[in-house]
C-alpha cells in the first residue's frame, strides 16, 4: 500500500512533554508508522520544553492573531520526531504542567490554548505548508478535538479526520459564550456539532464530526457504549458505533527495554532474569528504605493518584495483610487525599511501605525492574501502559479486569495455568474484597516459584510492540481515504 501523509495532533509528546500515556502513544505511533513507509508529522504547542528541544527549524507561517496574540508555525525536528510547532508566547510560554497553573487549577484560557491547536491543525490540513499536504488529520483527545470540527465547517476539499480517545473522562467542556471567540460558526452550536449539555464540548464535537473514532483497546471500545464508562457521551458513541474502532496501544520497546535500561541496577534478558531481578529488587528496597528482604513480595505501583486508578482500595485493604510478607513501592502524584493516605501508611511502617509522590522517570523504571508484582487496580482503564511494561520487565501484573487491562493480561485461573499461558492476576468487580482476594492469590502464587517463573516468561515473551497497532491504524487510514 502506498505511503500516506498523516498529521498527528497532540498536546503531549514523549520525550518532550508528558503527563500520562497520551504522550507515550503520541511519541511512539508516528515512528512505528514511519517504519511502515508513512510520513507522519506531529503538531504540538510550543511549550518551553518543546521550544528548547527542537532543531532545524523552518518557518511555515505567521499568524497576526492566534486567539489573542501573534504566533508562528515552525516545521522542525526533535530526535527522530518530525514536528510542526506553534510558537505563541501568549498561549504556551508557561512552565510546568501543560494544563494546570501553579495553583493546581486549569489555566483559565485552556479553551483558547487548545482551540489554537485544532485551528492550526485544520489550516495545515487545508494546505498551509505546501511541502506537506496531509491525507489524514489524526487528532488525539479533547485538546486536539476542534481540528476535525474546524475542518468540517470549513471549505472542501479537506483531508479525512480521525479522533483517538485516550480517556473519555477528559472532555474539554467550556462555556457557550466562547463560541464566537473560538471562531466556531453559529451552526456548530447544535446537537450535531459542538453543543454539549448547553456548553461547548471539544471532544463531543470531534466524536460527532470526525470521519472515524478510535480508542485504545477493544474492550474499552465496548465499555464506552454503556452509560457507566460512556460518561455522558455513550448515546453519541452508540450512534457512531459503526465508525468506532478499538486499537490496542503498544509499548515503546526502546524506552522500556530491560536489556538496555540505564535506570536498572542490573540489566537483563530472559535467560538471566531471576538473578538480575533479585539484584534490582535489593537495589529498589535499598533506595526506598524498605527492609532488605529477598523473600518479601514487593508490589510496585506507578500511577497518577486519582479516583480512576482505584488506589484508594489498596489503602483500604492493606490492613488485612499486616502479617503477610508484603512490601509496597509506590510512585505517584495527584489527588492530595489519596496521597495523604499513602503518606500515613508509609510513616507507620516505613520498612514495609515506601511511597514517593513525584514524577520520577528513573524510579518508574526501577520499580518495573525490581518489584515482584505490579498493581493496576483501575476502576476503568482505556488501555494502560504500565502493565505492558510490567509484562516486559517480568513483574507479574495484578490488574482489574477492565478496558485494556482485560485485553493484555491473562489471568492465572485454573484453565490458563493448566494450558501454561497465564501472565498475571485479574480481578473483578473492582472492589476492596476482590482486590484483597487477588492479593491473597498473588501471595500464594509467589510461593510457587515454578509457576511464578512460567508466568514471568510468558509475559516477557508476549509481543505488545507498536508494530501491530501501527498496521491497524494504517489500515484504518486507507479505509477512510477509499470510503
Ligand atoms: P494514564 O495515561 O491514565 O496516566 P497509562 O498507564 O496509560 O496511564 O500511562 C501512564 C504513563 O505515565 C506510564 O508511562 C507511566 O510509567 C508514567 N507515569 C505515571 N505516573 C508517573 C510518575 N509519578 N513518575 C513517572 N512516570 C509516571
Asked if 400 and 377 touch (Cβ cutoff 8 Å), the reply is: yes
Q: What is the rounded CA–CA span in Å between residue 109 and residue 19? A: 19
pLDDT reading at 433 higher than 70: yes
* Overall average pLDDT of the 406-412 stretch: 98
Q: What confidence score (pLDDT) does residue 320 get?
A: 95
Question: What is the pLDDT averaged over residues 92-105?
Answer: 92
With cut-offs at 50, 70 and 90, classify the pLDDT of residue 33.
Answer: very high
What pLDDT does 2 receive? 80
Ligand 1 pocket check: which of 301, 384, 385, 466 to mutate, most ligand atoms within 8 Å of Cβ?
385
Question: Which helix (H) or strand (E) element contains residue 356?
Answer: strand 353-356
For residues 472 and 247, is the Cβ–Cβ distance under 8 A? yes
Spatial distance between the Cα atoms of 78 and 52, rounded to a whole number of angstroms: 10
* Local confidence band at 273 (pLDDT 50, 70, 90 cut-offs): confident
Q: How far is the CA of 328 from the centre of ligand 1 (A)?
A: 17
Q: Give the cell for residue 335.
A: 489527588
N-term to C-term CA, the chain: 16
Domains of the chain by residue range: 5-250+466-482, 270-461
- Find the 99 Cα to ligand 1 centroid distance in Å: 16
Task: Say how many Å lie between the CA of residue 381 and the centre of ligand 1.
Answer: 12
C-alpha cell at 386: 504500565
Distance of alpha carbon 429 from alpha carbon 75, whole angstroms = 48
Whether omega before 15 lies within 30 degrees of 0, making that bond cis, reads yes
Could you give the angle at the alpha carbon of 297 between the alpha carbons of 293 and 303, nearest 5°? 115
Q: Helix, strand, coil % (nearest 5) of the chain? A: 40, 20, 35
Question: Mean pLDDT over residues 113-131, rounded?
Answer: 98
Q: CB 273: neighbour CB atoms within 10 A?
A: 18
Distance CA 85, CA 262 (A): 30
List, in order, residues 6 or more apart from 334 with CB less than 8 Å away. Answer: 304, 305, 306
- Residue 271: pLDDT band (50, 70, 90) is confident
Q: What is the per-residue pLDDT across 159-199, written as a single tens digit (0 to 9) for each?
A: 999 999 999 999 999 999 999 999 999 999 999 999 999 99
Work out the percent of the chain whose per-residue pLDDT is above 90. Answer: 97
Residue 176 CA to ligand 1 center (angstroms) comes to 33
**Ligand 1 atom, smallest distance to 167 CA:** 3
Question: Which is the CATH superfamily of the domain at 270-461?
Answer: Glycogen Phosphorylase B; (3.40.50.2000)
> Is 307 within 8 Å of 328 (Cβ atoms)?
no
C-alpha cell recorded at residue 158: 479537506
pLDDT, residue 123, reads 98
- In the chain, how long is the greatest CA-to-CA distance? 68
What pLDDT score was predicted for residue 272? Answer: 80
Mean pLDDT over the full length of the chain = 97
* Mean pLDDT in residue range 388-393: 98
Please check the confidence at residue 29 and state whether its pLDDT lies above 70.
yes
Q: CATH number for 5-250+466-482: choose from 3.40.50.300, 3.60.10.10, 3.40.50.2000, 3.40.50.1370.
A: 3.40.50.2000
Q: Is the peptide bond before 429 cis (omega within 30 degrees of 0)?
A: yes
Residue 19's CB is within 10 A of a number of other CB atoms, namely 15
pLDDT at 1: 64
pTM score > 0.85 for this model? Answer: yes
User: Distance, CA 216 to ligand 1 centroid (Å)?
Assistant: 15
Distance of alpha carbon 44 from alpha carbon 26, whole angstroms: 10
Ligand 1, residue 356: give the atom nearest the CA: 23
- Hey, is 412 helix, strand or coil? coil
Ligand 1 pocket (Cβ < 6 Å) reads 20-21, 24, 167, 302-304, 331-333, 359-361, 364, 383-386
Q: What is the predicted pLDDT for the residue at 22? A: 96
Give me the pLDDT at residue 438, please: 98
Helix ranges, 325-431 (H): 336-348, 361-370, 386-393, 403-408, 414-419
65, pLDDT greater than 80:
yes
Amino acid at each position: 500500500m502506498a505511503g500516506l501523509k498523516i498529521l498527528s495532533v497532540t498536546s503531549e509528546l514523549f520525550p518532550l512533554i508528558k503527563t500520562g500515556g497520551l504522550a507515550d502513544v503520541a511519541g511512539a505511533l508516528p515512528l512505528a508508522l514511519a517504519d511502515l513507509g508513512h510520513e507522519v508529522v506531529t503538531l504540538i504547542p510550543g511549550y518551553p520544553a518543546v521550544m528548547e528541544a527542537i532543531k532545524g527549524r523552518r518557518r511555515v507561517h505567521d499568524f497576526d492573531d492566534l486567539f489573542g496574540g501573534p504566533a508562528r508555525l515552525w516545521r522542525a525536528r526533535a530526535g527522530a520526531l518530525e514536528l510542526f510547532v506553534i510558537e505563541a508566547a501568549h498561549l504556551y510560554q508557561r512552565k510546568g504542567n501543560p494544563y494546570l497553573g501553579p495553583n493546581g487549577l486549569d489555566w483559565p484560557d485552556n479553551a483558547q490554548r487548545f482551540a489554537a491547536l485544532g485551528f492550526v491543525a485544520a489550516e495545515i490540513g487545508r494546505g498551509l505548508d505546501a511541502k506537506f499536504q496531509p491525507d489524514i488529520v489524526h487528532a488525539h483527545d479533547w485538546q486536539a478535538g476542534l481540528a476535525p470540527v474546524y475542518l468540517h465547517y470549513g471549505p472542501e476539499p479537506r483531508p479525512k479526520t480521525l479522533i483517538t480517545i485516550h480517556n473519555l473522562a477528559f472532555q474539554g467542556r467550556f462555556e457557550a459564550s466562547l463560541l464566537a471567540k473560538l471562531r466556531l460558526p453559529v451552526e456548530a452550536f447544535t446537537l450535531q456539532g459542538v453543543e454539549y449539555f448547553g456548553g461547548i464540548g471539544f471532544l463531543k464535537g470531534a466524536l460527532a464530526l470526525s470521519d472515524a473514532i478510535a480508542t485504545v483497546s477493544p474492550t474499552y471500545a465496548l465499555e464506552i457504549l454503556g452509560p457507566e464508562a460512556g460518561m455522558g457521551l455513550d448515546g453519541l458513541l452508540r450512534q457512531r458505533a459503526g465508525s468506532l474502532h478499538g486499537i490496542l496501544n503498544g509499548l515503546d520497546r526502546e524506552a522500556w527495554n530491560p536489556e538496555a535500561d540505564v535506570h536498572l541496577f542490573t540489566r537483563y534478558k530472559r535467560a538471566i532474569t531471576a538473578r538480575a531481578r533479585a539484584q534490582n529488587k535489593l537495589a529498589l528496597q535499598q533506595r526506598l528504605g524498605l527492609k532488605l528482604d529477598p523473600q518479601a513480595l514487593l508490589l510496585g505501583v506507578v500511577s497518577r493518584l486519582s479516583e480512576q486508578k482505584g488506589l484508594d482500595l489498596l489503602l483500604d485493604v492493606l490492613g488485612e495483610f499486616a502479617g503477610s510478607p508484603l512490601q509496597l513501592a509506590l510512585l505517584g502524584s495527584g489527588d492530595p487525599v489519596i496521597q495523604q493516605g499513602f503518606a500515613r501508611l508509609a510513616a507507620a511502617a516505613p520498612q514495609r511501605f515506601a511511597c514517593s509522590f513525584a514524577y520520577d522517570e528513573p524510579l518508574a523504571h526501577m520499580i518495573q525492574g525490581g518489584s515482584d508484582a505490579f498493581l493496576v487496580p483501575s476502576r476503568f482503564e482505556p488501555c494502560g501502559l504500565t502493565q505492558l511494561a510490567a509484562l516486559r520487565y517480568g513483574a507479574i501484573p495484578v490488574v482489574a479486569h477492565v478496558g485494556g487491562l482485560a485485553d493484555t493480561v491473562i489471568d492465572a485461573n485454573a484453565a490458563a495455568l493448566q494450558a501454561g499461558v497465564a501472565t498475571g492476576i485479574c480481578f473483578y468487580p473492582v472492589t476492596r474484597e476482590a482486590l484483597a482476594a487477588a492479593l491473597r492469590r498473588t501471595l500464594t502464587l509467589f510461593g510457587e516459584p515454578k509457576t511464578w517463573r512460567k508466568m514471568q516468561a510468558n509475559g516477557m515473551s508476549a509481543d505488545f510492540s507498536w508494530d501491530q497497532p501501527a498496521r491497524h491504524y494504517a489500515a484504518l487510514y486507507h479505509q477512510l481515504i477509499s470510503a
